[in-house]
Structure 1
């Protein structure tokens, strides 16, 4: 089975998720947002600190339950002085995830721009009680 893969996530965020508490993350990278467009709450996702370009079979990561998913657009206005301002829109995804277990990617799909990143995983023989 293939799982959505979030790549380039900070190792400190992954370490905090491993404590078992559900956490909310805000993702702004285009490749992760594209991947999340094909995910839904209740599914399991793969999270790794490895960048999307470098992700390959054998890379470590964690599995997490996707509890909440919101993808939206934010309007940002920057004022430089009273006569000049810049307005832009920024897409972001807010997700709430909870640690399920550690794992290793065994197959990787989606290295082409615009394709969601998906991985096959090697299931763990040991599970976390909780």
Structure 2
């Protein structure tokens, strides 16, 4: 099945998602932010700790469902005697629920500025290699 991928998540987050089955993450990476921007609760994502450039056929990760999605804006203000600086950045908070474990069959799209989409097989058993 074809999934949009979130890449480069920490192994700690992956382990917590496996243990608790539900985990809220904050996405700040531009690649991952673009990937989830058009998604809604109920959509499925493939989540891996590999970076986007390191994803190859055979890469493993988790298949998840978005339970909640919130786009937030962080505003930071710095000022001094001679300057005033204001910065804004956007992030997304996702509550993910574990569906299962998956393995990449093939990369379907890796265009710059678009989400990384992958053809992923759900792994339902332990296979010896």
> Under TM normalisation by the shorter chain, which class is it?
0.7 to 0.9
TM-score (norm 1): 0.86
Match of 2:6 in 1: 6
Q: Any conservation in 1 of the 2:26–2:92 contact (CA below 8 Å)?
A: yes
Match of 1:102 in 2: 101
Distance 2:74 2:108 in 1: 30
1:83 deviates by 3.9
Alignment RMSD, CA only?
1.6
Please list every run of 5 or more consecutive structure 1 residues that lacks an aligned counterpart in the other structure.
none
Deviation per CA, 1:11-38: give whole Å up to 9, x if none.
1100000013421110100110111023
Please list every run of 5 or more consecutive structure 2 residues that lacks an aligned counterpart in the other structure.
none
Deviation per CA, 1:98-119: give whole Å up to 9, x if none.
1121111112133221111111
Match of 1:24 in 2: 24
Which aligned pairs between 1:1-130 and structure 2 lie closer than 5 A? 1-79=1-79, 81-126=80-125
Distance 1:110 1:85 in 2: 42
Instruction: Kindly report structure 1 stretches of 4+ aligned residues shifted beyond 6 Å.
Output: none
1:86 deviates by 2.3
Greater helix percent: which structure? Answer: 2
Residue correspondences, number? 125
Q: Any conservation in 1 of the 2:28–2:91 contact (CA below 8 Å)?
A: yes
1:124 deviates by 2.1
